[in-house]
Structure 1
Amino acid sequence: MSAAAWLNHALCTDPADRPAAEAAISQLYTELNTPPPEFVWVGSPSAAATVVPPSPPLFSDGPVLFESRLATKISELRNRLPRKQLMTGVGPVVAMIRAAVGTSLGLHWHGQHDIHWVVHVHEPNPWATITRSCGWWWPREQVCVLSERPLVQHTEPGDDRDLRLHCADGPAVAYPDGFTVHAWHGTRVPSWVIDDPTVDRIAAETNVEVRRCAIERIGWDAFIDQAELRPVGRADDPGNPGAELRLYDLPYARWGRPTRLLLAVNGSVERDGTRRRYGLRVPPWFDDPIDAAGWTYGLTGRQYQQLLRRT
């Protein structure tokens, strides 16, 4: 099977093939001389938090936990694979879903999102079946909890052949039980950033990255108009030929303290060939955009003018 076909399995939003997943996992239990478990299905990784049995402390006395023995078996299998050929792709997707779940559930595996190593296992094994059949899963001695696959997975190309979550008009990931993850070009954001971004919500947001994403969702020109930003000055950017620096006054009543906004253009080109605009808060005493730009680098305006090019 080609790498593209495997990636299609990773991004599949069809209902899980429960009989196939249960049969493959039962085979793993049998290979470790353990009777097949009771299977419990949940609608999302988040829902697993309420049903996965707690594991004893990792270094407690007693027999080695089943999940630990399974992890050892997997490590032995993966260590036989050529490391430099491991496929990238869905790592950032896994990381963002894990962050959104917001809790640690002990040892678990990612089902369809484990393609980065399963794709390279050519010997007969149940892992390929699991990857093609279900979402995340948590094996324990007597019970195995499995998650359904998402109903929605929206991604775009990221860096180093990775994918990143992004959707401009709804959740980037949505599961059958209602659990969702919203993302803007790979940054996890609250749902309001996508569904209902407003100037007041942006002004109240303390996370700089979330604020940036919300402004980009509205669009800089629309945001400047809706926020009633007063232009202070503009100048050609000496550190970024062909780009312009713009300085705006932020209304005190909405932003809480006197401050100004420097709107600049990123020196690096995005994957689609565009250059992203971004805003930086600067002290209210700056009237010259070049002085304000220099301040963001710890330089004077005169020193900033000597830069050949910034990034």
Structure 2
Amino acid sequence: MSTRLASLVRDLRSGLDARTGHLRSWDGSRTPLAVTTEGWSVRGAVDAVARAALRATLHNSVRAPMRTELMPTSGGIDGITWYGQHDAHWIAHYDVYARVGLATYPGEAVERLGLWAELARTTGWWWPGEGLCVMAERPTEMHTEPQPNSDHGELRLHRDDGPAVRFADGAAVHVLHGAHVPSWVVTGPTVERIHAERNVEVRRTAIERIGWGVYIDQAGLQLVATADDPGNPGSELHLYDVPRELWGRPVRLLLAVNGSVEPDGRRRRYGLSVPAHFDDPVAAAGWSYGLSPEHYAQLVRRT
């Protein structure tokens, strides 16, 4: 059933694409008004606002972490999942074209697109089968924050005091600044759990939750060397030794201060794993940028 449905959707979208025409891609950093005055098509602006922005939010930033948590290994009844409200990005794309008079569709296509729009308005994820259709309720809670440097109001999942997504049956998804994490990273990060975690990004996120200074103290990391950061005047670089048994491989930790200011006006401290042979923090920092120590020392300010 899902395979046949996928074929029907492909045919529908191909027919609608023929009516909307081929779009000139653009980088999304300009406003819709600006791109029209710079020679870009109105269609390109509509595509960016009605499709690309919704896709960045619904498909990339909401659906992806939910799928990782709730469906880590399988698809639907026959391997295909339909996403209800999270399919809205492609449905809205064609709908807006018709609403603003940029395209007209045959009656049958209008009817089929309307059915998909109704699904996006009314249901969560769903799985059709022969004589059976499983439909999931939508979440009862969803917490988001604006995506950094977004131009059209794109959002990403985030909550630092509980699940970013919660369902009525208790199922939950924990996400910090768009990164899907196990629940313990939000509810109770500890050095022991951090050391047991094999996923590098999850481990980094958990360390940032408790703070790099707290982690270094509780993990008992030994300071190798400290140096002024030539790429970030006024800040220091700290190089620590990380025993093999803690992270599963011989590395050292370079603690640095971000060269760019955060939205709240602060400069964030962050840690980088560097090869264990480094004894010089400046050389380790240069390595992280693909630079020699001499070239790194000549930077006016890194980002």
Residue in structure 1 matched with residue 50 of structure 2 by the alignment: 86
1:151 to 140, 146, 150: 140
CA distance in 1 between partners of 2:255 and 2:161 (Å) = 25
CA distance in 2 between partners of 1:158 and 1:196 (Å) = 25
**TM-score normalised to the size of structure 2?**
0.69
* CA separation of 1:241 and 1:282: change in aligned 2, threshold 3 A: same
CA distance in 1 between partners of 2:10 and 2:92 (Å) = 18
CA distance in 2 between partners of 1:184 and 1:231 (Å) = 29
Consecutive unaligned residues in structure 1, runs of 5 or more: 1-53, 59-64
AA aligned to 2:269 is R
Structure 1 residue 201: Cα displacement: 2.0
* CA separation of 1:259 and 1:98: change in aligned 2, threshold 3 A: closer
CA distance in 1 between partners of 2:302 and 2:19 (Å) = 44
User: Do residues 129 (structure 1) and 93 (structure 2) align?
Assistant: no
Residue in structure 1 matched with residue 33 of structure 2 by the alignment: none
Structure 1 residue 300: Cα displacement: 3.7
CA distance in 2 between partners of 1:165 and 1:147 (Å) = 20
CA distance in 1 between partners of 2:263 and 2:219 (Å) = 29
Q: Secondary structure at the match of 2:127?
A: strand
Structure 1 residue 107: Cα displacement: 4.1
Residue in structure 2 matched with residue 294 of structure 1 by the alignment: 286
AA aligned to 2:89 is H
1:68-127 Cα deviation digits (max 9, x unpaired):
224433554466554344242322211222233122234443222233244452478344
2:231 to 239, 243, 258: 239
Structure 1 residue 277: Cα displacement: 2.4
CA distance in 2 between partners of 1:141 and 1:69 (Å) = 16
User: Do residues 104 (structure 1) and 104 (structure 2) align?
Assistant: no
Conservation of the 8 A alpha-carbon contact between 2:126 and 2:136: yes
1:135-214 equivalent positions in 2, closer than 5 A: 135-140=124-129, 142-159=131-148, 160=150, 161-214=153-206
Q: How many residues align?
A: 250
CA distance in 1 between partners of 2:227 and 2:269 (Å) = 15
Q: Give the superposed CA RMSD.
A: 3.0
Q: Secondary structure at the match of 1:247?
A: strand
Residue in structure 1 matched with residue 29 of structure 2 by the alignment: none
* CA separation of 1:182 and 1:242: change in aligned 2, threshold 3 A: same
Q: Secondary structure at the match of 1:90?
A: helix
CA distance in 1 between partners of 2:252 and 2:8 (Å) = 58
Q: Which has the higher contact order (CA 8 A, sep 6+)?
A: 1
AA aligned to 2:131 is Q
Residue in structure 1 matched with residue 88 of structure 2 by the alignment: 115
AA aligned to 1:130 is L
Sequence identity, in percent?
A: 55
**TM-score normalised to the size of structure 1?**
0.68
Conservation of the 8 A alpha-carbon contact between 1:90 and 1:162: no
* CA separation of 1:168 and 1:287: change in aligned 2, threshold 3 A: same
Structure 1 residue 150: Cα displacement: 1.0
AA aligned to 2:50 is L
Q: Secondary structure at the match of 1:231?
A: strand
* CA separation of 1:67 and 1:116: change in aligned 2, threshold 3 A: closer
* CA separation of 1:97 and 1:79: change in aligned 2, threshold 3 A: farther
1:144-163 Cα deviation digits (max 9, x unpaired):
22111012212111143432
